Amino acid sequence: MPTSTRRRFLRQSTAAASALLLAPTLIACGRNNTASTGESPAPASPPPGEERKVGVAILGLGGYARGQIAPALQLTQHCELRGIITGSPDKIPEWQRKYAIRDENVYSYDTMEGIADNDDIDVIYVITPTATHRDFAVRAAATGKHVWCEKPMAMTPEECQDIIDAANRANVKLSIGYRMLHEPNTRKLIQLTKDKVYGDLTSAHSYAGYAGNPPPADYWRGQRDMGGGALYDMGVYTVNGLRYGTQMSPTAVVKAMQRRQERPNGVDLTTTYTLRYANGMTAEGKTSVVEDYNELHIEAAKGWYEVQPMQPYQGVKGKTSDGKILGPPVPNQQSIQMDDDALAILNDTEVLAPGTMGKADIAVIRAIIESAETGREVTI
Ligand code: NDP
């Protein structure tokens, strides 16, 4: 889409979202945005007699939507891809053709408020650059549709809270696209921690990086103010991994270091950090867009367990110090994620990755940045 058109769409999105943020609270009765460590059980099955599928509209037809989410939706049992919301008119014909999307279910960022009256759509899935999540997710919630929002939830805890408030006002479910929380081998690792199978935890480390090229300055992943960089993009997996792997929230960033691109608005290419917990335990995190590593490792009094690799789309493998294999990798975790989230809507149960969890992780990310910039320990 031409830059001028994109700018126009964005200006309008921002203006509309700001107006919504100023609107008085209508209903303060949200019910699902409470858990913080992925403690809810995965929803089991639809309620008796409920065979309805959840209609999903994807907002933002970029690489992840096109390459992973739309194909994964075809593998779900409880979801149907029925709508698109896009700033790129040129993408519309292919999406309509490929997924049989009806004309009346196609929206632009200008017209998306009209989705409020569209009974085909139950959920808006926000899959756009991180710095745009707040505005799009707040607008999506205001239509009265449930909201799925990609990771990282937003740029700051305050922005995350705006999304949570908007979902609560509209009494809709809000789920963050933390696919690992739905991945069966990761869930087995979580259960080992919950059941203390290897005793009390003593330390942990969480590494997620890939050896790519440094992101370019003219793409949002290479722009700090758009949420680009290793820590937001990949590091959020390490922060969230330590949350579900330890079932604890960190209380401080002990120290952190970032290697950043040396240009205006340049991003971090690699970030390392140490977290501390209320019980005194520490954990190490490392993330990169130019170096390869991928594992979540938990040390406990009577042994260790890990997932390695910890967050690829396919092939998460888990093992323990006494030789147990956690289970075979699953073919498509995004379809499991969306089915879980659809069942939470159909059954009116809690989601596995609520907004409060997304917000808590962004608070850790901000503390890591502050610690790297000041060279000091930062309380979370
Ligand atoms: P892309 O750059 O490939 O696509 C982003 C899309 O967002 C664009 O194509 C565009 O869609 C839309 N958009 C809306 N506003 C803007 C804007 N101001 N600038 C640029 N694009 C805009 O990004 P990805 O699809 O890779 O990532 C999108 C989100 O998904 C990010 O938050 C990312 O972190 C997350 N993600 C999650 C993954 C996971 O495993 N859970 C994996 C990859 C990404 P349109 O042209 O239709 O308007």
**Does ligand 1 come within 6 angstroms of the Cβ of 14?**
no
What's the confidence (pLDDT) of residue 9? Answer: 33
* Atom 48 in ligand 1: residue holding the nearest Cα: 87
- Enter the tokens of residue 220: 């949002």
Q: Tens digit of pLDDT for each residue in 36-94?
A: 454 455 555 666 555 799 999 999 999 999 999 999 999 999 999 999 999 999 999 99
**Does ligand 1 come within 6 angstroms of the Cβ of 108?**
no
What's the confidence (pLDDT) of residue 48? Answer: 57
Nearest alpha carbon to residue 305 among 180, 179, 194:
194
CA distance 261 to 214: 8
For 156-189, b where at least 16 C-beta lie within 10 A, e where not — what string? ebebbbbbbbbbbbbbbbbbbbbbbbbbbbbbbb
**Does ligand 1 come within 6 angstroms of the Cβ of 60?**
yes
130: helix, coil or strand? helix
**Does ligand 1 come within 6 angstroms of the Cβ of 175?**
no
| Predicted structure pTM score | 0.90
Q: Tens digit of pLDDT for each residue in 300-352?
A: 999 999 999 999 999 999 999 999 999 888 989 999 999 999 999 999 999 99
Q: In Å, what is the CA distance from 84 to each residue of 56, 60, 99?
A: 8, 8, 10
CA distance 3 to 71: 28
64 CA to centre of ligand 1 in angstroms? 7
Nearest alpha carbon to residue 199 among 284, 298, 326, 278:
298
**Does ligand 1 come within 6 angstroms of the Cβ of 2?**
no
255 CA to centre of ligand 1 in angstroms? 31
What's the confidence (pLDDT) of residue 329? Answer: 86
Bridge partners (DSSP) of residue 58 are 84, 125
Q: Tens digit of pLDDT for each residue in 91-150?
A: 999 999 999 999 999 999 999 999 999 999 999 999 999 999 999 999 999 999 999 999
Q: In Å, what is the CA distance from 331 to each residue of 45, 94, 180, 341, 342?
A: 20, 26, 13, 18, 19
Phi, psi of 14 (to 5 degrees): -65, -40
| Domains, the chain, with CATH or none | 20-25+36-180 (3.40.50.720), 184-329+355-379 (3.30.360.10)
Alpha helices, H only, the chain: 3-22, 63-64, 70-73, 92-99, 133-142, 157-170, 184-194, 230, 236-246, 333-347, 355-374
Q: Tens digit of pLDDT for each residue in 213-254?
A: 999 999 999 999 999 999 999 999 999 999 999 999 999 999
What's the confidence (pLDDT) of residue 51? Answer: 76
Task: Please say if the pLDDT value at position 355 is more than 80.
Answer: yes
Q: Which amino acid is at 165?
A: D
134 CA to centre of ligand 1 in angstroms? 13
Do residues 129 and 227 make contact, with C-beta atoms less than 8 angstroms apart? yes
Atom of ligand 1 nearest to the CA of 84: 47
